Amino acid sequence: MTDFLRDVEDALGNAKAPSSSELDDILSRAGELKGLPLSDAAKLLMVEEEDSLRAIYEKAAEVKSAVFGPRVVLFAPLYLSNYCSNDCLYCGFRKSNSTARRKALSPDEAVEQAKILSRTGFKRIILVAGEHPRYSGVDYLIKIAEEIYSRTDVRILHVNSAPVSVEDFRKLKSAGYGVYQCFQETYHEESYKVLHPTGRKSDFLYRLSVMDRGLQAGFGDVGIGPLLGLYDYHYDALAAIAHSKHLEAKFGACAHTISVPRLKSAEGAEIKKAPYPVSDEDFKKIVAVYRLSVPQAGVVVSTREPARLREECLLCGASQISAGSSTEPGGYDGREKNTSQFDLSDIRPLPEMARVISEMGLLPSLCTACYRSGRQGSSYLHTAQSGNLNELCTANALLSLKEYLLDASPEGREIMEASLNRFLEEFKGKLREDVKRKLETVEKGKRDVHY
Ligand code: SAM
Ligand code: SF4
């Protein structure tokens, strides 16, 4: 299980920033959309020089566009519970935070929160919970999924929750969960042990092997990512890439998403500052290197990051961002005041984010099509590798955007409508006619229209 971490140590051992001709060669190979070996990814992570960084960002934007087209997927987290039996030194939900106001949503409360998000326009939601046998166990997650699917028009639930057994993964899968996400925090075992002193999470190997269990149980789409700032990012970012390669070699599916959470200060946390700070420039470099090394993975930037940096990340490889987030259970109706997990930076709501994305010449997407059409795991990877995802993603983004504009009538609608029409016109021949016909059905009231 730890073999891929040995590969990381080997690749980092003598890695130096590449010479300019070496960089050209690496970037030209990255343009073939087959990913990069760890040795190349390690060299890219060493780059500090401005022109070289610019070349990396440009290539990452090109690769993102070739795989996914102009679309940027928008989603929101729904925090279910802040009860936790672990004691991660950096987290506001930790057991030792005696001042925390604890809350676990009842199924009815979770449905209410999901309805608020759905009215806003989100049909894809990621549920998040602290680790607690009663308030975030598999039975609780199954009940919540049943209630949200049967009582709202949310189309896909993803989940970020504590690692479980193969058997419990099967149950979560049957309950209809899409992506299972879990962050390794750090792949550096010694640091991991210090940062996670007690509780189930203190078992480094149980966490490291969670995605193997998920994929073994048939959970095709898994989301990974170290929490940046806990350890040297060169090691942790390279380990995330190696982790994805390990999963692809073993199960035929790379990580569906790689997130770039960066440590934020949290009320009640023991650690207030990152032991290994990651600068904004390094953050962008990590986003770009993920994109070049695992081109078919969604690279996800959360609202932990400031507005301008998030926009810059969309121009160097990121393909998904959250918007209008709350990290407090019950936080979307504005009534509850429970302890949130950490401080947020970008508090722009969905309409504003979608408008900004349109103004950047990109295409906001609220699409859930892959999960509706069974393009998951290795089937997703094959579609993406064959180069067919680009058009599918663009068409589905247009359909989901049309639905959003009609149903939510957001501020800035005209700008988004213009962007929709512009991308529609870029389609050629038969496909353009087909997408137009599908858009008309949305206008007439049909919903969840997708390819
Ligand atoms: N409790 C589960 C776990 O730890 O895997 C799942 C949910 S936890 C709320 C989601 C993620 O939040 C953690 O995996 C961690 O990476 C991130 N997180 C925790 N404290 C943070 C902080 N202070 N700043 C930024 N992200 C943080
Ligand atoms: Fe609990 Fe997760 Fe926070 Fe750790 S990161 S204290 S496991 S909620």
Alpha carbon 55 to its chain centroid, in Å, reads 24
Comparison of pLDDT for 274 and 428, the residue scoring more: 274
CA angle 354, 356, 357 (to 5 degrees): 65
- Percent above pLDDT 90 for the chain: 86
Residue range 305-334, pLDDT digits in tens = 999 999 999 999 999 999 999 988 999 987
Q: Does the beta carbon of 261 lie inside 6 Å of ligand 2? A: no
Ligand 2: does its nearest atom lie under 6 Å from the Cβ of 312? no
Q: Which residue has the higher pLDDT, 14 or 187?
A: 187
- CA atoms 46, 51, 52, 53: torsion sign: positive
Q: Is the pLDDT of residue 375 over 90?
A: no
Give the ligand with the smallest distance to the CA of 184.
1
Mean pLDDT of the chain: 94
- pLDDT tens for each residue of 25-34: 999 999 999 9
Position 272 scores a pLDDT of 87
What is the per-residue pLDDT for 122? 96
For 347-372, write each residue's pLDDT tens digit.
Answer: 899 999 999 999 999 999 999 988 88
Question: Could you give the domains of the chain?
Answer: 66-365 (3.20.20.70), 389-443 (no CATH)
Alpha carbon distance 50, 48 (integer Å): 6
Q: Is the CB of 93 under 6 A from ligand 2?
A: yes
- Read off the pLDDT band of 1 (50, 70, 90): low
- Reply yes or no on whether the pLDDT at 184 is more than 70: yes
Inform me whether the pLDDT recorded for 343 exceeds 70: yes
When pLDDT is cut at 50, 70 and 90, the band that residue 336 belongs to is low
Q: Is the CB of 84 under 6 A from ligand 2?
A: yes
Which ligand ends up closest to the CA of 224?
Answer: 1
* Pairing outcome for strands 71-81 and 124-129: parallel
This prediction's pTM: 0.96
CA of 167 from ligand 2 middle (Å) equals 23
- Residue 35 Cβ inside 6 Å of ligand 1? The answer reads no
In which region does residue 61 sit, left (phi positive, over 0), alpha (psi from -120 to 50) or beta (all else)?
Answer: alpha
Q: pLDDT at residue 166 above 90?
A: yes
pLDDT digits (tens, 9 = 90+) for 72-90: 999 999 999 999 999 999 9
Whether the pLDDT of residue 143 is over 90: the answer is yes
pLDDT in tens, 205-264: 999 999 999 999 998 899 999 999 999 999 999 999 999 999 999 999 999 999 999 999
